[in-house]
Chain A
Amino acid sequence: MTVSPPDAAGEAGTEWPLAVYRALREAGVTQASYVPDAGHARLIRALHDDAEVRTTVLTTEEEGIALAAGAWLGGARSVLLMQSSGVGNCINMLSLPATCRVPFLTLVTMRGEWAEFNPWQIPMGRGTSAALETMGVTLLRLERPEEAAEVVAAAASIAFDGDQQVAVLISQRMLGRKKWVEGK
């Protein structure tokens, strides 16, 4: 053998979406909705490939909050995947889980915060945390791929056991380790 096995951090650097997928499934998530983002592409594929998970593509991010509330009413756990630019669309709909104390879990891939080439992404990227916190959402940051499973499991526990609204902000610096889709 001339090829060395990848070290743990190197493997985590590329395999973290699958760690997130496993953490969501271990937390009992059976519904997933999304407005696509390149940073979520691998996780979305993994969720689509799982026959036990109902995946729903949305036209706008706040739909996923209403969907998650309905899922909880019916006894199911749902996760919403989106990019930071979508957080602004969600503000009023976050009243629904807050008022009804319905668990809500979202994973947000950040734009506009690290080596951003598109100026149009920067204002909402800068405002993402404040927008969520304004509506009472608990924030966890995912900065290192090797922590992906632990952070998502903790977030799911706060959401589904603690009856809270929780967002995991996945840092652009970490996403940047992966090549963006060609042409984007």
Chain B
Amino acid sequence: MSDMPGTLDRRRAVKVLLAERRDLLVVTGLGSPAYDVFDAGDHDGNFYLWGAMGGAALVGLGLALAQPARPVVVVTGDGEQIMGAGGLMTVAVARPGNLTIVVLDNGHYGETGMQRSHSGLGVRLDRVAQACGIEDAVEIADEAGLAAYRPTLLVTSGGPRFVRVRIASGHVERALPPRDGVFLKHRMRGHLGFAVT
């Protein structure tokens, strides 16, 4: 079952997850997950990475530790998380109650020609996360499951959590968010009440 290709439309999946986001802060990994989050609705509380591959979960960790009263979600892809696989251990031992890592898993490197990733070759990222110490690691393969999980993203205790979302690997048109890092930094900090000095 789990080895079958995912069927969820990635854009639809992220829209469902981020509906009613309230005070949620979102950090994306580079590539398609950034486009998905942007397409679901740009927001001052979104920070899009366009590089720093392997770093998304750790950016989320730093933000979550600095803002313990705000829920933080990292939305990234399987290839990006695999590059930063050790970071799952770091997140686990840091125990940020307000952090959830969502991996949109199509088993492929979508930006570079759809080469199969380790996930596509059999590595189960939810099990990796669990073995790293993130006990609350689940797999979601349908829209009802995403809708049922959505309120959990807003909980600021009980984390860290890990969600492997099994998405389809078909082509999706790009939707490009702002890529000026200084702008994105000031926008997030302004959203959190820090003035530009």
Contact = CB atoms under 8 A, between A and B. Distances in A.
Contact of B194 (A60, A70, A75, A93): A75
Contact of B47 (A59, A73, A76, A101): A73
A70 B87 contact: no
Contact of A96 (B52, B87, B94): B52
Contacts of B89: 59
Contacts of B64: 70, 74
A59 B55 contact: no
A31 interface: yes
Interface in A116-167: none
Task: Among A56, A65, A70, A74, find the residue whose CB has the most chain B CB atoms closer than 10 A.
Answer: A70
A99 interface: yes
B93 A57 contact: yes
A78 B62 contact: yes
Given A59-B86, A101-B181, A73 B188 contact: yes
A6 B49 CA distance: 52
Given A66-B59, A96-B52, 14 more contacts: A59-B89, A66-B58, A70-B60, A71-B66, A73-B47, A74-B65, A74-B66, A75-B192, A93-B54, A95-B51, A95-B52, A96-B59, A99-B50, A99-B181
Interface residues of A, number: 31
Interface of A: 31, 54, 56-60, 62-76, 78, 92-93, 95-96, 99-102
A12 to B, nearest CB: 32
Contacts of A76: 62, 65-66
Nearest to A74: B66
Interface string B90-119: 100110000000000000000000000000
Interface string B163-195: 000000000000000000110110011001110
Given A56-B90, A92-B52, A96-B55, A70 B189 contact: no
A93 B52 contact: yes
Nearest to B93: A57
A70 B184 contact: no
Secondary structure class of chain A's binding surface, majority of residues: helix
Contacts of B47: 73
B73 interface: no
A56 B94 contact: yes
A62 B51 contact: no
Contacts of A63: 55, 58, 84, 86-87, 90
24 contacts: A31-B62, A31-B66, A54-B94, A57-B93, A58-B90, A59-B89, A63-B55, A66-B52, A66-B84, A67-B61, A67-B90, A69-B55, A70-B61, A71-B66, A72-B62, A73-B185, A73-B188, A74-B63, A75-B192, A92-B51, A96-B49, A96-B52, A96-B181, A100-B185
A76 B192 CA distance: 12
Contacts of A65: 55
B87 to A, nearest CB: 5
A99 B51 contact: yes
A153 to B, nearest CB: 19
B189 A100 contact: no
Interface in B53-80: 53-67
Interface string B14-56: 0000000000000100000000000000000001011111111
The 8 closest A-B pairs by CB, nearest first: A70-B62, A74-B66, A66-B55, A59-B86, A100-B181, A66-B58, A76-B66, A71-B62
